[in-house]
């Protein structure tokens, strides 16, 4: 039995699980948790190898999904950002009775670019992997800068994210490397038709990691899903456009 992940629960109401992205930790959600906890019982987690779960070391994709399922409420809405979107989607596929609603934010079922599919070029992921070995703090900072690119308040956004994320222990380098492998290798596209719960997909139109074309291509994979595009946002709309983001989230969860 592995040690439990660092897990926080705040607020009253229906259960909502928030899953952070690569290089981050649960503190990234703090600004919006303060607004959500009046209506929801909000659960945030530090994935294995990140933040206060750094000592647990690296876990592969299936292990990460199972670790979160092991501590999540019996039934909850799951919201995953970026890499967290892959984890939330896989949880919804393997344990559909546990996921009442699925929300993905700035996420893709296949992050890696390939013929006819937009995404992160393999060379960029390889570069991140190499840079990680040299200076992982700098690499994570660069990744944060990428995430805020195009946002009208980019500098302020990056400052806010850094302050939150760096308030917790640094991620485990092996977990960061595994995360990049997941982003390079996992492809859930052919399984999406099996999703039985309501699905909402949120995107930033200016996102450099999940190009807006993915948002439109996904209409074919999950035709009955709700698509929300934040016109001025990049890869972290819940930070750069938190009020709009919370309005859209309420609207979907209340359906």
pLDDT digits (tens, 9 = 90+) for 221-231: 999 999 999 99
Active site residue 235: yes
Greater pLDDT, 143 or 34:
34
Q: What is the mean pLDDT of residues 226-245?
A: 92
What dihedral angle (degrees, nearest 10) is formed by the CA atoms of 158, 161, 166, 172? -100
Q: What is the mean pLDDT of residues 184-201?
A: 97
Q: Give residue-wise pLDDT tens across range 213-222.
A: 999 999 999 9
- Residue 138 Cα distances to 11, 131, 141, angstroms: 35, 8, 5
Contact 213, 118 (CB under 8 A): yes
What local confidence, expressed as pLDDT, does residue 66 receive? 98
What local confidence, expressed as pLDDT, does residue 1 receive? 52
Both tokens of 157, joined, read: 């956004």
Active site residue 185: no
What local confidence, expressed as pLDDT, does residue 150 receive? 64
Q: State percent of the chain over pLDDT 90.
A: 71
* Catalytic-role residue among 207, 234, 240, 241: 207
Average per-residue pLDDT for the chain? 92
Q: Give residue-wise pLDDT tens across range 15-34.
A: 999 999 998 999 999 989 99
Residue 89, Cβ density class (10 Å: 0-12 exposed, 13-18 middle, ≥19 buried)? buried
Greater pLDDT, 151 or 205:
205
Which of 63-72, 167-176, 197-206 is predicted with the least confidence, judged by mean pLDDT?
A: 167-176
What local confidence, expressed as pLDDT, does residue 133 receive? 76
Closest CA to 73 of 106, 104, 41, 117: 41
Closest CA to 234 of 124, 120, 118, 146: 146
* Catalytic-role residue among 58, 82, 151, 240: 82
Active site residue 207: yes
* Catalytic-role residue among 20, 43, 235, 241: 235
Residue 54 CB neighbours (<10 A): 20
- With 80 as the cut, is the pLDDT of residue 8 above it? yes
Which of 28-32, 37-41, 55-59, 218-222 is predicted with the least confidence, judged by mean pLDDT?
A: 28-32
């Amino acid at each position: 039995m592995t040690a439990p992940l660092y897990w926080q629960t705040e607020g009253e109401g229906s259960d909502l699980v928030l899953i952070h992205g690569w290089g981050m930790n649960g503190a990234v959600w703090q600004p919006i948790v303060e607004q959500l906890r009046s209506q929801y019982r909000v659960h945030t987690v530090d994935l294995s190898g990140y933040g206060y779960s750094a000592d647990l070391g690296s876990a592969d994709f299936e292990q990460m999904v199972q670790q979160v399922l092991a501590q999540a409420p019996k039934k909850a809405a799951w919201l995953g950002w970026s890499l967290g979107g892959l984890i939330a989607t896989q949880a919804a596929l393997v344990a559909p009775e546990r996921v009442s609603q699925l929300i993905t934010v700035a996420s893709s079922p296949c992050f890696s670019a390939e013929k006819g599919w937009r995404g992160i070029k393999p060379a960029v992921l390889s570069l991140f992997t190499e840079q990680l070995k040299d200076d992982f703090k700098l690499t994570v900072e660069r990744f944060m800068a990428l995430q805020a690119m195009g946002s009208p308040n980019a500098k302020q956004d990056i400052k806010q994210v850094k302050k939150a994320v760096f308030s917790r222990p640094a991620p485990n380098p092996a977990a960061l490397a595994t995360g990049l492998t997941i982003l390079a290798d996992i492809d859930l596209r052919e399984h999406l038709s099996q999703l039985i719960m309501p699905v909402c997909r949120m995107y930033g139109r200016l996102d450099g990691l999940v190009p807006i074309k993915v948002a439109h291509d996904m209409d074919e994979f999950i035709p009955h899903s709700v698509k929300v595009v934040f016109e001025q946002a990049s890869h972290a709309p819940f930070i750069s456009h938190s009020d709009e983001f919370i309005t859209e989230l309420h609207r979907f969860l209340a359906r």
